[in-house]
Amino acid sequence: MKKRTTRIIIAAIALIFLSLLGYMGIIFAGNYVIDEKDLVMSSATTLVDDKGDVITKLYAQNRELVEIEDIPEHVQQAFIAVEDRRFYDHSGIDYQAIGRALYKDILAGGKVEGGSTITQQLAKNIFLSHDKTWLRKTKEAIIAINLERKYTKKEILEMYLNQIYFGHGAYGIQSASKLFFDKEVGELTLEEGALLAGLPKAPNGYSPIDHPEKSKKRRDLVLSLMADVDFISAEQAVRAQGKTISLHVHRLEKNPAYLTYIDMVLDEAKKRYSLSSMEVLKGGYKIAVPMNPAAQKTSYKAFQNDTYFNGSDKSVSPQGAFVLMDPNKGGVLAVQGGRDYVRQGFNRVTAKRQPGSTFKPLAVYGPALEMKKWEPYSLLKDERLDYGGYTPENYDGNYQGTVSMYEAIVDSINAPAVWLLNKIGMSRSLEYLQKLGMDVNERQLGVALGGLDKGVSPLQIASAFSAFANEGSRVEPYFIQAIYDRDGKLIEETNPKEKKVFSKQTAWYMTKMLRSVMTDGTGKKGDVNTDLAGKTGTTTFEQVDGANKDLWFAGYTPKAVGAVWIGYDRTTKQRYMEGSSSDPTVMFKDILKEIPEQQKLAFQKPKGVKDLEPPIEMVAIDDLSAQFAFSRFGVPGVELTWTASEDERLMYKIYINTEDGPEKVDTVIGEGSYTVVSPKLFTFPEFYVVPYNPLTKKDGEPSNTISTSAFN
């Protein structure tokens, strides 16, 4: 008897020891299998505008993490009732459920039912595959036991409710609540919570969107199970089961209008914050962006309109790029990288092209004005000249001898731009181009007309023109205003970066001249309901007569600066542009008309700068006449009369032809008559008048000549 007792004690000790070893093995194995980094669930990153309104979401899985305290108790109970009614009583494994499942498996001759707890489901979904094998179930149990050791029941339930899939792309209880009911999880009613609790078993099969009847039956079952375990009363269950399914579906559509902007946000996140694209998609960040949704959508719509894209090859559409940014801070308001842009595709906003005449204000006229030697009405040579083998030509083949800087800009005349660049020097031009953010090193006069080997991008052009819009300071474009982590903590906020390039005076002079481009020059086609300054640009395709390669417009209002490029990605003899720079110009204006913030704006002259007088138009005088008259002192004389300009600033020089040649008598300002009193009248001289522009200091053509001999 004594020996038997001893053997029992030894066996019991051995069993306890083996059990202890087994338990320690489970703990060790669980610790080995569990990697807490896997418990960090991916959640959607939200893009918001400057008002905090959601623009779109970026995600690998559409999930919004929510704390258990924010999930109503009746919603928690619904999941426990249907998935694991003994959740608060077991330690990760429900042996009663396992026994029931084993019994049914044996009867069926295979695995047909699981006895998995919520903890086991969490272990399976995060750490394991979904294969129904005994090895996987063993690992699942080991992990579940260790999860229960490390985390509280509330923590496990929180992880579970945030992790599970509800169908239609929604992961986690918060995303599901917003998808099916367009409300926060904390606002879910009893029947809504029960409906969601019934989905994880078969998200597609029980979808209330696709299968409302099946979804209602499943919901009613969950309500009955809640009543069975006394989470709700029988009456509450009956009342809730009597309600129909009422959805308010809020699908998170992927708007193609946002694709370029999203890519540029991801690029900036990588460069500035060292965040990979995948980290942004999974990290649950909130990113405040300076996007103007109206501008973004309107520009996308414009890019679908064939009216602006006139190419020779009707089977292949020309492409385009558009960017609009805040001229004072640099935030990008809208951007389109192509007509059919795809995620991570070829982005034409950053692709470099020859900028054509949009480069003239940047490379020539702005730097020249800074020298103080040149002013808007300074005369420039407009002749077909040879510069060591380089002979720039005007587009229309006409040359006026001299024109003012103002005229050269408004009418986009080539010869004066090259002549002036030759005068100010390439070094000075390149110095300013570097300040404007463009790495141009070509030391050739063709730079005046945008003749670059590598070219510049629409984003660079828009940023460069911000120097004129922002009182002489160029601003760096950016796409991320501020970025917050998943806990709402600010990681970093963007401070606008600007660089002083031009004086306020130069910027204002350029604004006034570029405004005239839009009202009287090459940019006047189309209409817009705001002050707009800008410059057109075209690069020709010399292999085909009359063909163009790149069509440009760059311009700004008091609140926005931007650029448009239109052309083929690759120009050939069969594929070239048949349109002109009017196409991007009209597009830019049409986009502005659809942006509420860009209506009825007016440029305001900065304090401390001189205003630019409007140009004086020269007149031709061919009706000079004369008659005898008396001066106001009663002295006989000759009264000359002619049709004067309505612009009273125009001056008129009076000349008399004598035996010794022409002699200037006087100058009249803004009047069309003058009485000559001179002893030379008795020699019957001839008279003529020459109009004179005091802004350009340029004489016009002499009038017809009138002789007093006709009075004899």
Active site residues: 83, 357
Tell the residue number behind the tokens 């300002």, with chain if given: 669
Q: In angstroms, rounded to a whole number, what is the distance separating the alpha carbons of residues 442 and 359?
A: 14
Q: How far apart are the first and last CA of the chain?
A: 169
Question: In the chain, how many H helices and how many E strands?
Answer: 21, 25
Q: In angstroms, rounded to a whole number, what is the distance separating the alpha carbons of residues 132 and 60?
A: 26
HSE (side-chain half, CA atoms, 13 Å) at 107: 8
Distance from CA of residue 44 to its chain's centroid? 21
Q: In angstroms, rounded to a whole number, what is the distance separating the alpha carbons of residues 605 and 590?
A: 26
> Residue 691's beta-bridge partner residues?
652
Q: In angstroms, rounded to a whole number, what is the distance separating the alpha carbons of residues 420 and 406?
A: 13
DSSP E strands in 326-366: the ranges are 332-336
- DSSP element (H, E) containing 62: strand 62-63
Q: In angstroms, rounded to a whole number, what is the distance separating the alpha carbons of residues 668 and 702?
A: 15
Enumerate the H helices of 448-537 as residue ranges: 458-469, 504-520
Q: How far is CA 576 from CA 53, 425, 540, 567, in A?
A: 42, 34, 9, 8
Q: In angstroms, rounded to a whole number, what is the distance separating the alpha carbons of residues 418 and 172?
A: 64
Q: How far is CA 690 from CA 36, 251, 664, 702, in A?
A: 91, 74, 10, 5
Q: In this structure, how many other beta carbons lie within 10 angstroms of the beta carbon of residue 96?
A: 12
* Residue 682 DSSP symbol: G
Tell the residue number behind the tokens 């390039």, with chain if given: 501
Q: Can you give the three-state secondary structure of 380-409, one letter per residue?
A: EEECCCCECCECCCCCCCCCCEEEEHHHHH
